[in-house]
Structure 1
Amino acid sequence: MPNQQSSALRVPEADASVDPAEFRRVMGHFATGIVAVTAHDPLDGEPVGLAANSFTSVSLSPALVSLCVAHTSTTWPRIRRGGRFCVNILGERQQAACAQLARSGGDKFRDLDWSVAPGGLPVLPGALARLECSVTAEHPAGDHVIVVAQVHAMEAGPVGGDGPLLFYRGGYGGFRS
């Protein structure tokens, strides 16, 4: 049986030979889906949200997912303090909603079409799927934090509907199988 002890991990220092702009350009060759993370801020009851393209499943049992959020995000602390949040997997027709939630500051929900899910969280109509989650761990990673969250409820739209909203080489697009 492999050793499952936790070991201290070394926090890497920036490698001066890796230009951040070039790293972003090269990584842009990897197409990613986009999610909108939504919640209610318990302090003012307002809906809050952010867009992320670093989202993945982590474990089937228990059901865990992860996403990465910039340390500079002013929205993530508001989402986290609500306890639960919704991950909306965006469809190809939701580029405008993605852009609105990706911007910094301000009322990101102004003029944004949204509703309340049975669990009480704000959700985006037209999302391909939704997962209601709560944070189980946060891991610092460079200029981001890796958030690991447990899934408590989920639903997916009908098969054969819209394709996913994808981010590739600095632009948005869709995919049809």
Structure 2
Amino acid sequence: MDPYLFRNLCGRFATGITVITTFRDDESPVGMTANSFASVSLDPPLVSVAVDHAASAHAALVAAPRWTVNILEANQEALSRRFAATGSDRFDGVGWRRGPEDALLLDGVLAHLVCTRHDTVEAGDHTILIGRVVAGDAAEHGRPLLYYRGGYADPDGL
């Protein structure tokens, strides 16, 4: 399959945008933007996220016993871009707190899903993290930040 065509085809599927967060062994925060998030199972409650082997957060996320899926709101494109960028302190000026299970929760997001490591699967140039959801919360109101056809999208504009 031609990689350009494959990317174009997958881009026709609108996805929500998340930031996956955890702590390194030295307790420093680490996170990355991901749109490859999916619900896997209701019983037990499992989710997955695919992490590129080249991602700076890869080693920390694969080793972490717990991580958080922070689902972004429509007005958080800048936050998504920050956690997708390389070579910067992604947490500089970003509000966050410790939550259940000592999870790293970003402030102001649409929802949090706190996960403990259930399994990892090597798949091509990515590692798929499968997490058991052990806690979560959601904003009472809000709209999701979406990614569609290679760019950010307003849910009302699709």
| TM > 0.5 | yes
Which position in structure 1 is the counterpart of 2:89? 107
The CA distance in 2 between the partners of 1:58 and 1:171, in whole Å, is: 25
Which position in structure 2 is the counterpart of 1:166? 146
What is the CA distance between 1:164 and its match in structure 2? Answer: 0.3
The CA distance in 2 between the partners of 1:40 and 1:34, in whole Å, is: 20
Matched-pair contact (CA < 8 Å) for 1:93–1:162 = no
Q: For residues 1-177 of structure 1, what are the structure 2 equivalents within 5 Å?
A: 18-42=1-25, 44-158=26-140, 161-176=141-156
Please say which of residues 112-121 and 24-33 is displaced more in the overlay.
112-121
Give the counterpart letter for 2:34 in structure 1: A
Matched-pair contact (CA < 8 Å) for 1:69–1:146 = yes
Q: Deviations over 1:10-42 (max 9, x none)?
A: xxxxxxxx2212211221111001111111112
Q: Which runs of 5+ in 2 are unaligned?
A: none
The CA distance in 1 between the partners of 2:38 and 2:79, in whole Å, is: 20
Give SS of 1:100's match.
helix
Give the counterpart letter for 1:162 in structure 2: G
What is the CA distance between 1:113 and its match in structure 2? Answer: 2.7
Give the TM-score normalised by the residue count of structure 1: 0.81
What is the CA distance between 1:74 and its match in structure 2? Answer: 2.4
Give the TM-score normalised by the residue count of structure 2: 0.90
The CA distance in 1 between the partners of 2:87 and 2:146, in whole Å, is: 23
Give SS of 1:30's match.
coil
State the identity as a percent.
41
Give SS of 1:50's match.
strand
Q: Which runs of 4+ in 1 moved over 3 A?
A: none
What is the CA distance between 1:139 and its match in structure 2? Answer: 1.3
Give the counterpart letter for 1:21 in structure 2: Y
The CA distance in 1 between the partners of 2:41 and 2:74, in whole Å, is: 26
Decide which structure has greater strand share.
Answer: 2
What is the CA distance between 1:53 and its match in structure 2? Answer: 0.5
Q: Which runs of 5+ in 1 are unaligned?
A: 1-17
What is the alpha-carbon root mean square deviation over aligned residues? 1.5
Give the counterpart letter for 1:37 in structure 2: I
